């Protein structure tokens, strides 16, 4: 069998070479089209305006808040005990009921105390009669002594007897008062106004003054307080506000920071800083007329510490953080953008204070920034009205360090 001639080999590989050349040419053309170079279509894409969302610099007031985590604490919490021993006869409250101070809660069998009172009153009557008789004898002895009919020693002895009976009468009166007090303690009353908890003892049981569980607890929930913590760095401005007698508004939000539970004011600051956490405890008071706050409930606290008046405002998303300065993309009159350095101040929610670099009414890119370069042409689309200062969002950032504003 013979080998093919050289001329036949060349004819055999020629179609393969042509196919490879066509494939390479197609790949190069596709790459140029994709990269936008080497053709008219590439120049058209480069000159096409980039659609962006813009917003105008506004002017208004900005509220500055401090955020912290808090726990609802009753204004007063009392565990009601029996002050005497005896059988619990009747319970006059319903669990969860709101009671007034002095309202009757329970009754303990009073018969033993009534017997003690009767005995004390009888002893008092007996000693009072002896005292009256001794006083009459003393008057007779004094008369006889004035007539030099008896010795002075007999008068002095009678005088001493009168004093003994006077002491006995005073002791009897004390026993009467004690018996009346025990009888009064047989009726257990509410020491404070508030909401009663679950009953610890049922009627019919023997109760003692030394019982650890008591009868029931009462929590004062109107008004109610919230104890929360903030970093110690915030303490100077808070103390300054308190010393100036300026009310400091405090709002309590739910765990998700979506629903406002109650509005109140700061009551006081603790007298020391926790050195382990670098925080200080604060207490705010709420009227809680709708009972939205419940003892030991977790809440997010938002305290308004200041209000900046008539400042230039911009959405925080428009400000970019560079290596050295903050900057924005300012839209020029010819619809090109300029990299503008700005000095920012306090931030609250999605609003930031512009201290320098922009003036009110300047249009700034707020969306589509990642596609821009210095001098890029843009097609502005208004993202919204000029920045507004009054924010209702419960979370925000500010110049003061937060203790935390969300549930763990």
CATH code (residue 269): 2.40.30.170
* 86 and 162 in a common domain: yes
Per-residue pLDDT of the chain (408 residues; tens, 9 = 90+): 444 444 444 445 455 555 565 555 555 544 444 444 444 444 455 568 888 889 989 998 888 899 999 999 999 999 999 999 999 999 999 999 999 999 999 999 999 999 999 999 999 999 999 999 999 999 999 999 998 888 999 999 999 999 999 999 999 999 999 999 999 999 999 999 999 999 999 999 999 999 999 999 999 999 999 999 999 999 999 999 999 888 999 999 999 989 999 999 999 999 999 999 999 999 999 999 999 999 999 999 999 998 889 999 989 888 988 878 888 989 888 888 888 889 988 888 788 999 888 889 889 998 888 888 888 888 888 665 444 444 444 444 344 444 443 333
Q: Own/partner pairs for 42-51, CB < 8 Å, 24+ apart?
A: 47/377, 48/377, 49/335, 49/377, 49/378, 49/379, 50/368, 50/371, 50/372, 50/376, 50/377, 50/378, 50/379, 51/368, 51/378, 51/379, 51/381
Count CB atoms within 10 A of the CB of residue 183.
18
Residue 40 forms part of a structural domain: no
Residue that is last in its domain, among 264, 282, 307:
307
Residue 41 forms part of a structural domain: no
Total domains, the chain: 3
Q: For position 388, what pLDDT does the model report?
A: 44
* 242 and 198 in a common domain: no
* 337 and 241 in a common domain: no
Residue 125 forms part of a structural domain: yes
From residue 193, how far is each of 10, 81, 103, 139, 185 by CA, in Å? 110, 16, 9, 57, 19
Residue 294 forms part of a structural domain: yes
Q: For position 86, what pLDDT does the model report?
A: 95
* 317 and 293 in a common domain: no
Whether the ω angle into residue 252 lies within 30 degrees of 0, i.e. cis, is: no
Query: 257: left (phi > 0), else alpha (psi -120 to 50), else beta?
Result: left
* 172 and 278 in a common domain: no
Q: For position 37, what pLDDT does the model report?
A: 45
The answer to whether the beta carbons of residues 316 and 62 sit under 8 Å apart is no
Residue that is last in its domain, among 307, 329, 360:
307
* 191 and 96 in a common domain: yes
The answer to whether the beta carbons of residues 387 and 50 sit under 8 Å apart is no
For residue 300, the enclosing domain spans 67-75+218-307
Q: DSSP H helical segments within 325-391, as ranges?
A: none
Q: Dig out the tokens for 96 from the structure.
A: 């969860």
Q: For position 371, what pLDDT does the model report?
A: 82
* 198 and 86 in a common domain: yes
* 202 and 119 in a common domain: yes
From residue 220, how far is each of 56, 122, 162, 232, 297 by CA, in Å? 51, 44, 54, 30, 14
Q: Dig out the tokens for 373 from the structure.
A: 């370069």
Q: Dig out the tokens for 102 from the structure.
A: 């002095």
* 319 and 300 in a common domain: no
Please state, in angstroms and rounded to a whole number, the distance separating the CA atoms of residues 47 and 51. Answer: 12
What CATH number is attached to the domain comprising 58?
2.40.420.20
């Amino acid at each position: 069998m013979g080998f093919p001639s050289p001329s036949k080999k060349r004819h055999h590989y020629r179609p393969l070479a042509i196919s490879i050349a066509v494939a390479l040419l197609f790949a190069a053309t596709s790459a140029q089209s994709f990269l936008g170079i080497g053709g008219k279509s590439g120049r058209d894409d480069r000159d096409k305006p980039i659609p962006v969302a813009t917003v105008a610099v506004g002017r208004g007031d900005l509220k500055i808040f401090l955020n912290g985590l808090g726990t609802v604490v009753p204004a007063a919490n009392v565990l009601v005990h029996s002050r005497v021993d005896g059988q619990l006869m009747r319970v006059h409250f319903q669990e969860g009921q709101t009671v007034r101070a002095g309202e009757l809660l329970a009754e303990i069998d009073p018969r033993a105390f009534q017997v003690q009172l009767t005995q004390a009153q009888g002893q008092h009557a007996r000693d009072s009669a002896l005292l009256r008789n001794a006083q009459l004898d003393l008057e007779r002895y004094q008369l006889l002594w004035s007539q030099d009919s008896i010795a002075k020693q007999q008068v002095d002895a009678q005088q001493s007897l009168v004093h003994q009976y006077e002491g006995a009468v005073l002791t009897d009166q004390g026993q009467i008062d004690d018996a009346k007090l025990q009888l009064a303690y047989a009726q257990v009353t509410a020491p404070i106004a508030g909401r009663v908890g679950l009953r610890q003892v049922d009627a019919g049981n023997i109760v003692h003054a030394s019982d650890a569980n008591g009868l029931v607890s009462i929590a004062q929930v109107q008004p109610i307080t919230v104890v929360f913590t903030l970093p110690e760095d915030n303490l100077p401005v808070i103390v300054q506000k308190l010393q100036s007698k300026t009310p400091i508004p405090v709002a309590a939000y739910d765990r998700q920071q979506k629903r406002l539970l109650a509005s109140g004011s700061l009551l006081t600051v603790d007298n020391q800083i926790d050195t382990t956490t670098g925080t200080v405890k604060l207490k705010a008071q709420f009227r809680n007329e709708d009972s939205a706050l419940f003892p030991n409930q977790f809440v997010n606290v938002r305290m308004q510490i200041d209000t900046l008046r008539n400042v230039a405002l911009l959405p925080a998303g428009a400000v970019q953080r560079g290596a050295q300065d903050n900057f924005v993309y300012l839209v020029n009159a010819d619809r090109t953008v300029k990299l503008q350095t700005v000095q920012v101040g306090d931030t609250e929610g999605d609003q930031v204070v512009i201290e320098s670099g922009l003036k009110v009414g300047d249009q700034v890119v707020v969306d589509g920034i990642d596609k821009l370069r210095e001098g890029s042409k843009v097609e502005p689309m208004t993202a919204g009205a000029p920045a507004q200062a009054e924010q209702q969002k419960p979370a925000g950032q500010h110049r003061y360090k937060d203790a935390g504003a969300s549930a763990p």
